[in-house]
């Protein structure tokens, strides 16, 4: 029998438009599924990446400093239970009405280890009484069948979302960012992951150098074709001590502006079926790490501009997908 932590339903009909939303937000989706507010707790299990350790490349992604986008990597690392307790103590001050949390294995590549080690780490998180599910961030070239078998088993007992860092469908952009893999890895990962009972999320970056507006929408259409369950969008932003920082300083890379980004996001979401959950619409970093663009630090303003553009167009997520909302 599934445990009491098992997800309440894997086929909840989205009603986000009835709630006055223009797109299928992550917060709305979780509230439907769990009956109340749910927040993610970032965990650092000490993983690295194959384009850092030399397996496929060295130096990591052009834009990446894990400390800049993962709170858990900016803190002294302790065991999994200790990290959860420390994070919950802080989060309860900000979200006093929240009593359910997802353990989010966030920085680096969180399936990049032997299966026995992965099982132990995931089970430590699930044993915590406030954890109602897992989110695991990884790369599409790091989900061998034995790892997928483990994830499939876990998904029979609890909510599980696996985040695949697709970033873009364009191989030239993946080469630019020193990703160490091409889009065929994403297609293969999706083919082997479908039907295993866990949600599949995809990361996509808008505003990559050399990508046109049409290129970004091609990535949207590819996500539709791949039948992902959710997406995380963010603008290309720059943090210190990265190759991208040097490129921006030298004038080799121009970061996307807010108006162009908002237009691209709305066009992107109009193509996604209404069932797809939109987990994130922009990205930023802590001031100590951040270089630019400045506009993305004000997430509230970005959301307001996004809603205003949807309203101006009288459109919504999926209105160009051919799938009724």
Share of the chain above pLDDT 90, in %: 86
Question: Mean pLDDT over all residues of the chain?
Answer: 91
For residue 98, what pLDDT is reported?
94
Q: How far apart are CA 78 and CA 81, in angstroms?
A: 8
- Written as six digits, the tokens of 194 are 């479908």
Using a cut of 0.85, tell me whether the model's pTM lies above it. Answer: yes
* 259 lies in some domain: yes
Greater pLDDT, 179 or 8: 179
Greater pLDDT, 79 or 199: 199
Query: 217-267, pLDDT tens digit by residue?
Result: 999 999 999 999 999 999 999 999 999 999 999 999 999 999 999 999 999
Indicate which CATH number applies to the domain containing 160. Answer: 3.20.20.70
**CA dihedral sign, ordered 65, 215, 198, 96:** positive
Greater pLDDT, 90 or 65: 90
**For 182-192, what is the mean pLDDT?**
98
**Beta-carbon contacts of residue 32 (< 8 Å; ≥ 6 apart):** 12, 14, 15
For residue 72, what pLDDT is reported?
47
Greater pLDDT, 77 or 137: 137
Q: How far apart are CA 268 and CA 270, in angstroms?
A: 6
Query: 68-124, pLDDT tens digit by residue?
Result: 444 544 455 579 999 999 999 999 899 999 999 999 999 999 999 999 999 999 999
For residue 32, what pLDDT is reported?
93
* 271 lies in some domain: yes
Q: Domain of 168?
A: 26-313
- Tell me how far the alpha carbon of residue 205 is from its chain's centroid: 10
Whether residue 7 is predicted with pLDDT greater than 60 in this model: the reply is no
**Beta-carbon contacts of residue 17 (< 8 Å; ≥ 6 apart):** 274, 316, 325
Give the closest residue to 236 by CA, choosing from 183, 190, 176, 191: 176
For residue 65, what pLDDT is reported?
77
- Give me the number of domains the chain comprises: 1
Q: How far apart are CA 28 and CA 71, in angstroms?
A: 23
* 5 lies in some domain: no
Query: 29-61, pLDDT tens digit by residue?
Result: 999 999 999 999 999 999 999 999 999 998 999
* 146 lies in some domain: yes
């Amino acid at each position: 029998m599934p445990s009491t932590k098992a997800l309440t339903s894997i086929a909840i009909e989205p009603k986000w438009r009835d709630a006055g939303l223009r797109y299928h937000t992550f917060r709305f989706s979780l509230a439907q599924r769990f009956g109340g507010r749910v927040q993610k707790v970032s965990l650092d299990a000490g993983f690295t990446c194959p384009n850092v350790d030399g397996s496929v490349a060295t130096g990591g992604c052009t834009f990446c400093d894990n400390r800049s986008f993962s709170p858990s990597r900016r803190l002294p690392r302790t065991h999994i239970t200790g990290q959860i307790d420390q994070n919950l103590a802080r989060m309860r001050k900000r979200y006093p009405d929240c009593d359910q949390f997802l353990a989010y294995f966030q920085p680096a590549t969180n399936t990049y280890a032997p299966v026995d080690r992965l099982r132990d780490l995931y089970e430590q998180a699930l044993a915590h009484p406030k954890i109602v599910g897992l989110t695991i961030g990884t790369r599409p070239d790091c989900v061998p069948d034995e790892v997928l078998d483990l994830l499939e088993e876990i998904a029979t007992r609890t909510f599980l979302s696996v985040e695949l860092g697709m970033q873009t469908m364009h191989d030239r952009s993946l080469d630019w960012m020193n990703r160490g893999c091409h889009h065929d890895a994403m297609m293969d990962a999706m083919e082997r992951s479908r039907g295993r009972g866990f949600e599949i999320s995809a990361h996509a970056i808008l505003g990559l150098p050399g990508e046109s507006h049409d290129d970004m929408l091609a990535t949207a259409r590819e996500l539709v074709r791949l039948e992902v369950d959710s997406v995380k969008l963010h603008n290309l932003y720059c943090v210190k001590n990265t190759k991208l920082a040097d490129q921006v300083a030298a004038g080799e890379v121009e970061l996307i502006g807010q108006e162009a980004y908002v237009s691209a996001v709305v066009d992107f979401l109009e193509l996604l079926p209404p069932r797809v959950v939109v987990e994130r619409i922009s990205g930023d970093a802590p001031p100590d790490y951040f270089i630019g663009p400045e506009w993305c630090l004000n997430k509230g303003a970005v959301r307001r501009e996004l809603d205003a553009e949807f309203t101006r167009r009288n459109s919504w997520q999926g209105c160009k997908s051919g799938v009724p909302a």
